């Protein structure tokens, strides 16, 4: 088994068993970042949209009423089954699902008007390959909208964030920063554009329960938080119960600079 295949299997195991939790997650089902992604599609009634790493499907549900079709793509079949059930419950007949890796999309060139992704990219094994694929399947003038947690910039804060994330979820790869995203998007052929930022509170007990984090790992996260320098605790607004705040970014990018 290749390293990539092993990572894909790990992602599938981590999220497949928790599909219902992600459909019901309050953090994922609402927020200004979700509304901002949906706004990229509101004036495109004939658009075809691809939701990369759809998870609980909240991007797909948000944009489906405004567009011609939306395809929710994920590695986990259990997650996709949950999305299909929720879409049917909501009466969204223009939403379909597809199981595939983001690094190898099973679609022809230039088939989508928008590619959107939210809280997924930090799990991708090969971000440059995934971005090249997103660029390939977008039409000329198409646009990518990407939302994810970002690291705060300094090595000190970055190290703590990645450690907490990995202890919570072994399928975590990396929370990138804005400069890294701009460089990777440009290398994939995009023209990076507007950025919006938010700070999102993670309620600790829900954060670990959603991923089924083992008790030993929970203890290590809490030990890292308790032992962190005041600059770390202040930036992440660490609370007595371990709850904290994450930096989240939406970056838009255009294909070949055509809008």
Q: Is the pLDDT of residue 157 over 60?
A: yes
- Percent of the chain beyond pLDDT 90? 86
CB 81 within 8 A of CB 144: no
The pair of structure tokens assigned to 79 is: 């997650």
pLDDT for the residue 1: 39
Tens digit of pLDDT for each residue in 19-66?
465 555 555 565 899 999 999 999 999 999 999 999 999 999 999 999
Tens digit of pLDDT for each residue in 85-132?
999 999 999 999 999 999 999 999 999 999 999 999 999 999 999 999
Q: Is the pLDDT of residue 151 over 60?
A: yes
The 8-class DSSP code of residue 65 comes to G
The pair of structure tokens assigned to 114 is: 């928008």
pLDDT for the residue 256: 79
pLDDT for the residue 47: 98
Q: Is the pLDDT of residue 160 over 80?
A: yes
Nearest one of 108, 90, 109, 97 to 72, comparing CA atoms: 97
Q: Is the pLDDT of residue 171 over 80?
A: yes
pLDDT for the residue 259: 42
Mean pLDDT, residues 140-145: 97
Mean pLDDT, residues 223-228: 98
Q: Is the pLDDT of residue 16 over 80?
A: no
What average pLDDT does the chain have? 91
Residue carrying structure tokens 């949950």: 82
CB 150 within 8 A of CB 248: yes
Tens digit of pLDDT for each residue in 187-206?
999 999 999 999 999 999 99
pLDDT for the residue 136: 98
Instruction: Compute the distance between CA of residue 12 and CA of residue 94 in angstroms, rounded to an integer.
Output: 25
């Amino acid at each position: 088994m290749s390293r990539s295949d092993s990572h894909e299997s790990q992602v599938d195991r981590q999220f497949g068993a928790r599909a219902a939790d992600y459909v019901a997650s309050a953090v994922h089902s609402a927020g200004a970042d979700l509304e901002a992604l949906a706004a990229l599609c509101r004036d495109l009634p004939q658009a075809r949209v691809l939701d990369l790493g759809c998870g609980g499907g909240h991007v797909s549900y948000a944009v489906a009423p405004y567009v011609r079709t939306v395809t929710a793509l994920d590695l986990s079949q259990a997650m996709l089954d949950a999305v299909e059930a929720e879409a049917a419950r909501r009466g969204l007949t223009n939403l379909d699902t597809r199981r595939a890796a983001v690094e190898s999309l099973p679609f022809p060139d230039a088939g989508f008007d928008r590619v959107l992704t939210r809280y997924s990219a930090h799990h991708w094994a090969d971000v440059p390959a995934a971005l090249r694929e997103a660029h390939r399947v977008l039409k000329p003038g198409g646009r990518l909208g990407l939302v994810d947690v970002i690291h705060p910039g300094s090595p000190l804060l970055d190290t703590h964030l990645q450690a907490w994330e990995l202890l919570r979820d072994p399928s975590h790869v990396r929370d990138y920063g804005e400069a890294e995203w701009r460089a990777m998007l440009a290398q994939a052929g995009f023209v990076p554009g507007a950025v919006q930022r938010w700070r999102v509170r993670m309620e600790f007990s829900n954060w670990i329960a959603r991923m089924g984090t083992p008790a030993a790992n929970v203890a290590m996260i809490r030990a890292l938080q308790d032992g962190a320098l005041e600059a770390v605790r202040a930036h992440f607004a660490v609370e007595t119960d371990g709850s904290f705040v994450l930096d989240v970014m939406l970056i838009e990018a255009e294909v070949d600079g055509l809008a």
